[in-house]
């Protein structure tokens, strides 16, 4: 038989586990985000090879794929060594579109 005191301590232990788990998750998210930023700064420029890529912005949009709306996202980068402007679209370097151009101008 469990006394009210025992069930109370059980609730306290469960609450403690939940708090610790949430705290660990927050730490992992924070460390992961910091590592992602470090990885970004260490990516070489595909044009000149310099470690000088500057992250400009991240964009989300709805695009039409085969007539259906689909979410899309990409990030814009600029090399501070050779000045090339790049679009990272799902891990592939592309030339930024005309509409992406205004994001580069806005950051200058």
The binding site for Zn ion (CB under 5 A) comprises: 45, 47-48, 50, 79, 81-82
If the CB atoms of residues 59 and 81 are measured against Zn ion, the closer one turns out to be 81
Chain mean position to CA 91: 12
Least distance CB 103 / Zn ion (angstroms): 18
CA dihedral of residues 9, 11, 17, 20 (deg, nearest 10):
-90
Write out the two tokens for 27: 């730490």
Q: Which is nearer to Zn ion, 64 or 95 (CB)?
A: 95
The gap from C-alpha 90 to its chain's centroid, in whole angstroms, comes to 12
Dist CA 23 CA 11 (whole Å): 18
Q: Give the nearer residue to Zn ion in terms of CB position, either 79 or 103.
A: 79
């Amino acid at each position: 038989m469990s006394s009210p005191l025992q069930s109370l301590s059980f609730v306290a232990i469960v609450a403690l586990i939940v708090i610790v788990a949430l705290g660990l998750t927050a730490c992992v998210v924070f460390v992961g985000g910091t590592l992602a930023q470090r990885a970004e700064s260490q990516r070489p420029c595909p044009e000149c090879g310099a470690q000088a890529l500057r992250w400009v912005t991240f964009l989300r949009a709805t695009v039409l794929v085969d007539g259906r709306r689909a979410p899309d996202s990409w990030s814009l980068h600029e090399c501070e060594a050779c000045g090339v402007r790049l679009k990272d679209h799902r891990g592939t370097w592309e030339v930024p579109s005309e509409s992406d151009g205004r994001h580069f101008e806005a950051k200058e």
